[in-house]
Structure 1
Amino acid sequence: MYFNYFKVSLLTLGLIFCFSTEILAQGCVAIRGGSSCSTGFGNVFNLSKGEVLAGINYRHFKSFRHFRGDHEEPHRVEQGTEVINYSNLLDFNVTYGITNRLYATATLPFVHFDRSSMYEHGGNPPNGLGERHYTTAYGLADIRVGAGYWLFDPIENHSYNYAVGLGFKLPTGKHDYTDTFYNQGPDRDETREAVVDQSIQPGDGGFGITVDFQGNHFVSDHFVMSTFLYYMLNVTETNGVLTRNGNSEFSSPDQFAALLGVTYISNLKGLGIYFGGRLEGVPSSDLIGGSEGYRRPGYAVSLEPGLNFAKNNFIFNLTVPIAIYRNRIQSYADKLITQQTGEFRIGDAAFADYLINFSVAYKFGGNQQKEIEGSELEFINDSN
Structure 2
Amino acid sequence: MKLLYVFAMCIALSFASLHASAQGCVAVKNMSSCSLEYDSMPKRGWQFSLNYRYFRSFRHFKGKEEQKERLEKHTEVINNDNSIIAGISYRYNKNFSFAAAIPYIYIDRSSLYEHDRVHRYHSQSSGIGDIRLTGYYGLNFSHSSNLTFGLGLKLPTGDYNTKDYFHTVDGPQLRPVDQSIQPGDGGLGIITELNYSKMLGRSFNVYLNSMYMFNPRNTNGTRTFRETLNPLYANEAIMSVVDQYFARIGGHYVFNEMLSAGVAGRVEGIPVEDLIGDSDGFRRPGYILSVEPNLLLTHKTHSFAVNFPIALIRNRTQSLTDKQTQAITGQPRHGDAAFADWLLSVTYAYKFTR
TM-score interval (norm. to shorter): over 0.9
Task: For 2:186 and 2:3, locate their aligned partners in 1 and report how far apart those are by CA, in whole Å.
Answer: 43
SS in structure 2 of the partner of residue 77 of structure 1: helix
Task: For 2:170 and 2:21, locate their aligned partners in 1 and report how far apart those are by CA, in whole Å.
Answer: 38
> What are the ranges of 5 or more consecutive residues in structure 1 without an aligned counterpart?
124-129, 367-384
Alpha-carbon distance, 1:192 to partner: 1.1
* Paired residues of 2:244 and 2:269 also in contact (CA < 8 A): yes
1:73-92 → structure 2 map (5 Å cutoff): 73-92=67-86
Establish whether residue 171 from structure 1 lines up as the match of residue 156 from structure 2: yes
Counterpart of 1:212 in structure 2 is 193
Counterpart of 1:32 in structure 2 is 29
Say which of 118, 135, 149 aligns to 2:123: 135
Alpha-carbon distance, 1:94 to partner: 1.0
Alpha-carbon distance, 1:215 to partner: 1.9
Say which of 228, 241, 251 aligns to 1:252: 241
SS in structure 2 of the partner of residue 18 of structure 1: coil
Counterpart of 1:376 in structure 2 is none
Counterpart of 1:149 in structure 2 is 137
Identity %: 39
* Paired residues of 2:32 and 2:85 also in contact (CA < 8 A): no
Q: Output the TM-score relative to the length of structure 1.
A: 0.87
Alpha-carbon distance, 1:25 to partner: 2.5
Say which of 87, 91, 109 aligns to 1:93: 87
1:303-318 → structure 2 map (5 Å cutoff): 303-318=291-306
Cα distance 1:55–1:13, how it changes in 2: closer, same or farther (>3 A)?
A: farther
Task: For 2:42 and 2:90, locate their aligned partners in 1 and report how far apart those are by CA, in whole Å.
Answer: 9
SS in structure 1 of the partner of residue 321 of structure 2: helix
Alpha-carbon distance, 1:189 to partner: 4.4
Establish whether residue 265 from structure 1 lines up as the match of residue 265 from structure 2: no
Q: Quick check: which has more Rg, 1 or 2? A: 1
Task: For 1:9 and 1:138, locate their aligned partners in 2 and report how far apart those are by CA, in whole Å.
Answer: 38
Task: For 1:245 and 1:298, locate their aligned partners in 2 and report how far apart those are by CA, in whole Å.
Answer: 19
- What value does the CA root-mean-square deviation take over the aligned residues? 1.6
Alpha-carbon distance, 1:37 to partner: 4.5
* Paired residues of 1:16 and 1:42 also in contact (CA < 8 A): no
Task: For 2:297 and 2:8, locate their aligned partners in 1 and report how far apart those are by CA, in whole Å.
Answer: 9
1:184-213 deviations in Å (ceiling 9; x for gaps)? 2xxx14111111000000001111000001
1:1-384 → structure 2 map (5 Å cutoff): 4-20=2-18, 22-33=19-30, 36-37=31-32, 41-46=35-40, 48-123=42-117, 130-152=118-140, 157-182=142-167, 184=168, 188-245=169-226, 247=234, 248-266=237-255, 268-365=256-353
Q: Output the TM-score relative to the length of structure 2.
A: 0.94
1:310-365 deviations in Å (ceiling 9; x for gaps)? 10211110011000000000111112223344333110000010000000111113
> What are the ranges of 5 or more consecutive residues in structure 2 without an aligned counterpart?
228-233
Q: Which runs of 4+ in 1 moved over 6 A?
A: none
Task: For 1:138 and 1:91, locate their aligned partners in 2 and report how far apart those are by CA, in whole Å.
Answer: 13
* Paired residues of 2:8 and 2:38 also in contact (CA < 8 A): no
SS in structure 2 of the partner of residue 151 of structure 1: strand
Task: For 1:236 and 1:290, locate their aligned partners in 2 and report how far apart those are by CA, in whole Å.
Answer: 8
Task: For 2:62 and 2:43, locate their aligned partners in 1 and report how far apart those are by CA, in whole Å.
Answer: 49
Cα distance 1:314–1:131, how it changes in 2: closer, same or farther (>3 A)?
A: same
Task: For 2:269 and 2:286, locate their aligned partners in 1 and report how far apart those are by CA, in whole Å.
Answer: 6
SS in structure 1 of the partner of residue 347 of structure 2: strand
Task: For 1:54 and 1:106, locate their aligned partners in 2 and report how far apart those are by CA, in whole Å.
Answer: 10
Structure 1 counterpart of 2:209, one-letter code: F
Task: For 2:75 and 2:325, locate their aligned partners in 1 and report how far apart those are by CA, in whole Å.
Answer: 26
Alpha-carbon distance, 1:152 to partner: 2.6
Task: For 1:339 and 1:120, locate their aligned partners in 2 and report how far apart those are by CA, in whole Å.
Answer: 26
Alpha-carbon distance, 1:258 to partner: 0.5
Task: For 1:197 and 1:7, locate their aligned partners in 2 and report how far apart those are by CA, in whole Å.
Answer: 45
Task: For 1:233 and 1:205, locate their aligned partners in 2 and report how far apart those are by CA, in whole Å.
Answer: 13
Task: For 1:205 and 1:318, locate their aligned partners in 2 and report how far apart those are by CA, in whole Å.
Answer: 31
Task: For 1:218 and 1:245, locate their aligned partners in 2 and report how far apart those are by CA, in whole Å.
Answer: 51
Task: For 2:332 and 2:42, locate their aligned partners in 1 and report how far apart those are by CA, in whole Å.
Answer: 55
Task: For 2:95 and 2:29, locate their aligned partners in 1 and report how far apart those are by CA, in whole Å.
Answer: 30
Cα distance 1:41–1:234, how it changes in 2: closer, same or farther (>3 A)?
A: farther
* Paired residues of 1:26 and 1:32 also in contact (CA < 8 A): no
